[in-house]
Structure 1
């Protein structure tokens, strides 16, 4: 079987890619939401267009983030204390992928029917999405900053048999 050499962070490439892509997704979803809310109150249709395109690109990029997240989670040295948080983060990631795709499709239908306004129900669903994104950010931050997944000192300690 073919295996790639892993670096000091237990990855076959210099730095984790998942956080890079996922921060892009987070920014686009948040910016889309802000543009929709501002557009709703100011009636500026250009903001609605910006919101749509940000959500559209985020809907594609989130699956790239999920794929790299799955790959990098598979390479992580997982110890018992990490498992529940990593599993919840994984389930939330796939769920967010589906939710972002559905909300983007809904946003496309809204844009197609009437590009001049966004219904309050959509803004409510987008608010719920933002809450889920914040929960996912918390889980991902915990995996890195608390549990040290793909952090060199933790990886090195695990290679030497020291379990956090």
Structure 2
């Protein structure tokens, strides 16, 4: 598994993904399933080491909104290329809930999705697709410079043409 963060592909990560229902390590950076986090909330937030929560595409954010200031990472799953629910969750976390921690896309992360994922507020991407990893390592993933919608990451962008105020340039 490789992580794409800040324009760089990292072949290792400090975060350990805890399998659903598995014992939680006493120390270290962990990512735990949403249901397990809810069941063990007090113990997890009191442990040594950062805690991240993995949210499946069909799960709601409501149960963790109050805990967001104490969560270092939220991992949003993309179960398949055509499932866009995690894009919406990313925008909600950044804009409505003002989540400032690391937002990670996991699952079916492919080359064509990356510019939109970054615009929706993702900081890091877990990439397993070899052609996508190769494109990232070679710097072949390019963003779109003119948009109709503002970015969750960049805030307000400038309108490139006063006659077309709805366009945004990044």
Query: Which category of TM-score, normalised to the shorter sequence, fits these structures?
Result: under 0.3
TM-score using structure 1 length:
0.25
Higher strand share: 2
TM-score using structure 2 length:
0.25
Higher helix share: 1
